[in-house]
Amino acid sequence: MTTLQQIKRLYSLSEDHNYGFSDDEIARLETRLNVQLPEKLKDYYLTLGKNGQINYVHNRLLKPDQEIDFSEDRYLVFYEENQTVAYWGIKEEDLKLPDPPVWGNYGTDENPDWVMEAKTTGIFFLLMAAYNGTMGGLKHHANSFTEIDESVVSYIKQNWAEVPEISWEKQRVYTDDFYEIISLCFDEQQNCTAAFIGTADRERFGEILERLDIDWSYTSDEDEDDEEYDDEEQDQKDSGASS
């Protein structure tokens, strides 16, 4: 399965529908910057670039029209952190590669501090889809910022598959064939300090909540319950007005 297929499965998107920018929009971008986009970057923009849940809920994909551009030190910047304190790009000399590495700048424009974020562009987009998904992009999501018991961590490791391409020592990501995502944060002593989950499937979400003995700081069900209450309250008001 390609990374695009993994992302589509995670967000329960149709394989037949296009969620991307047009060929003309990408052609105008390439003309404006006098570059040819790497294959994987171009494919993503053309296939999923306009999907708001994946790309615009938390960290943000830059749009082709005037947003994506080169930094002063010649990285093609195409993604930014939600508070614009970091951004991600591809080295100009790597644009000739079909699936180049992606670097993150955690410094400033004047004093950049570029570190490799992902070995390939495809892996970077999978990383952001997972991260954004657990931060609200996926319809059903939850987080906990309390220490997670080691028995729960062991249970997750035994029952979900780690995604090594987007995991590192302080953040490990697990999945059930990309129908759901679990992300765990670790401190220097490898204590699990936070957990994030996300899925597009409500039934799966309920099962994860039941299986994991975690004191959740937030679950999206809270907002759904509030929405249902608001709808019921409005229905009652409408009924009273019409009687």
Q: Which residue has the higher pLDDT, 28 or 230?
A: 28
Q: Do domains 3-127 and 138-226 have the same CATH topology?
A: no
Q: In this predicted structure, what is the pLDDT of residue 225?
A: 53
Domain 3-127 class, CATH top level? alpha beta
For the stretch 156-198, pLDDT in tens is: 999 999 999 999 999 999 999 999 999 999 999 999 999 999 9
State the average pLDDT over residues 46-56.
97
Q: In this predicted structure, what is the pLDDT of residue 109?
A: 84
Mean pLDDT, rounded, of the chain: 93
Q: In this predicted structure, what is the pLDDT of residue 224?
A: 66
With cut-offs at 50, 70 and 90, classify the pLDDT of residue 148: very high
Domain 138-226 class, CATH top level? alpha beta
With cut-offs at 50, 70 and 90, classify the pLDDT of residue 229: very low
For the stretch 71-112, pLDDT in tens is: 999 999 999 999 999 999 999 999 999 999 999 999 988 899
Domain boundaries, the chain: 3-127, 138-226
**Using the 8-state DSSP alphabet, how is residue 87 labeled?**
E
Q: Closest Cα partner for 216 from 185, 191, 195?
A: 195
CA angle in degrees (0–180, nearest 5) for 148-204-59 = 65
The answer on pLDDT for 23 being more than 50 is yes
For the stretch 102-127, pLDDT in tens is: 999 999 888 999 999 999 999 999 99
Q: Which helix (H) or strand (E) holds 221?
A: helix 220-242
Q: Which helix (H) or strand (E) holds 15?
A: none
